[in-house]
Amino acid sequence: MSISEQQPPQGTDSVTDRLVEANRRYADQFRDPGMDARPVLKVAIVACMDARLDLHAALGLELGDCHTIRNAGGVVTDDTIRSLTISQRALGTRSIVLIHHTGCGLETLTEDFRTQLEDEVGQRPTWSVESFRDVDQDVRQSMNRVRTSPFLAHSDDVRGFVFDVHTGLLREITTE
């Protein structure tokens, strides 16, 4: 039974409490697999944080196979480059897979979102929304950011895809 189908434990009403309780049950069965932080397949995957993307299942991955970096839109930002640089230079990854998806929420936002936040909280975010209208073009832009970063040691095996949230299929995006 998934956490969303479970009733909260007695005396609690928090989703976080349910997650912590689920972790206790997980830990009861957990056995240290003896792995280190280096991914077996030497691949880092950058993908959207969208809850509809079950990357391990969709790509046939097991625990320890890859590094997974997720953010809104799966876009390559400075922080993504930071994570990829550490993944490559400290932990041995060589390949990078970028995965955006159909029906992404970033297609509905604009940079005006930052202005709305400034009006609401009295401070303008220092980060960009990174919204886009054309998912294919944004995958190309992300691939270009990875390939041109001076910090990444390996940029020869960078591929980009769009995951279709209705079919579960990946569609590869080329730079042409």
Distance CA 114, CA 92 (A): 36
Distance CA 11, CA 1 (A): 20
pLDDT bucket at 1, cuts 50 / 70 / 90: low
Q: Report the b/e string of 42-61 with b at 16+ CB within 10 A.
A: bbbbbbbebeebebeeebeb
Distance CA 115, CA 157 (A): 38
- Short-list 78, 126, 77, 85, CA closest to 106: 77
Residue at 158: amino acid letter: V
| Contact in structure between 165 and 52 (CB atoms under 8 Å) | yes
Residue-wise pLDDT for 141-153, tens only, equals 999 999 999 999 9
Q: Could you give the percent of the chain with pLDDT greater than 90?
A: 87
Q: Where are the domains positioned within the chain? A: 1-30, 33-173
Residue-wise pLDDT for 99-143, tens only, equals 999 999 999 999 899 999 999 999 999 999 999 999 999 999 999
Give the range among 6-10, 122-126, 161-165 with minimum mean pLDDT. 6-10
Structure confidence at residue 32 (pLDDT): 87
CATH architecture designation of domain 33-173: 3-Layer(aba) Sandwich (3.40)
- Between the alpha carbon of residue 61 and those of residues 3, 74, 153, the distances in Å are 22, 18, 24
pLDDT(71) > 70: yes
Neighbours of 175 (CB within 10 A): 11
Q: pTM higher than 0.85 for the full model?
A: yes
- Between the alpha carbon of residue 168 and those of residues 53, 108, 150, the distances in Å are 9, 22, 34
Residue-wise pLDDT for 24-66, tens only, equals 999 999 998 888 899 999 999 999 999 999 999 999 999 999 9
